[in-house]
């Protein structure tokens, strides 16, 4: 057993967990954050993607004990810092980037991370498709997911520009 202390969605949590407990099960079973899903056993599907210390990770591939001391953000807090929803969440709705919703939290977290890595407004279709290699969707055929991520990236570039202009 290990004692782990981490900050999840801005809240400090401390628990004693089995050494083999995966971060995804810790989030779902211990913290009832069930928006993070489990869709496979082999780290392929990406329904479990969360942010750990600012970067997207597959929470099925990290032990809760490894996450000790880290800061984790799940889909439930993806909108923190925004008035309503994160632009990525808004775009998924506006562009019909989801159907059954099961892969959606992982897709949104992956999309947010893609914009972080490439910079807002710097994505194109081929890049988005290539970067979605680790996220499987069975409903949408990816068409509207790609459109949503591109639209959110452009929207985030716009608001960045506005912020920069306001700062100047």
Question: What is the C-alpha to C-alpha distance for residues 161 and 145, in angstroms, rounded to an integer?
Answer: 24
Q: How many residues bind another protein (CB under 8 A)?
A: 57
By beta-carbon proximity to another protein, the closer residue of 13 and 38 is: 38
Residues 112-151, one symbol each (x = binds another protein by CB under 8 A, - = not), give: -------------xx-xxx-xx-xxxxxxxxxxxx-----
Q: Which of 3, 5, 10, 34 is close enough to bind another protein by CB under 8 A?
A: 34
Do the Cβ atoms of 78 and 102 come closer than 8 Å?
Answer: no
Name the helix (H) or strand (E) containing 5: strand 2-8
- Could you say which of 23, 26, 105, 155 contacts another protein (CB under 8 A)? 105
Which listed residue (75, 114, 151, 152) binds another protein by CB under 8 A? 75
C-alpha distances out from residue 42 to 39, 47, 59, 61, 165, Å: 9, 12, 12, 9, 45
């Amino acid at each position: 057993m290990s004692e782990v202390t981490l900050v999840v969605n801005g809240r400090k949590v401390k628990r004693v967990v089995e050494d083999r407990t995966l971060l995804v099960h810790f989030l779902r079973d211990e913290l009832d954050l069930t928006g993070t899903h489990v869709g496979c056993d082999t780290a392929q599907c990406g329904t479990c993607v969360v942010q750990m210390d600012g970067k997207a990770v597959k929470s099925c591939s990290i032990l809760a004990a490894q996450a000790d001391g880290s800061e984790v953000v799940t889909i439930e807090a993806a909108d923190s810092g925004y008035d309503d929803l994160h632009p990525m969440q808004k775009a998924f709705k506006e562009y019909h980037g989801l159907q059954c919703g099961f892969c959606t939290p992982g897709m949104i977290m992956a999309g947010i991370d893609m914009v972080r890595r490439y910079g807002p407004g710097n994505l194109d279709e081929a890049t988005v498709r290539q970067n979605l290699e680790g996220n499987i969707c069975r409903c949408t055929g990816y068409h509207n997911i790609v459109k949503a991520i591109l639209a959110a990236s452009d929207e985030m570039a716009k608001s960045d520009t506005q912020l920069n202009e306001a700062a100047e």
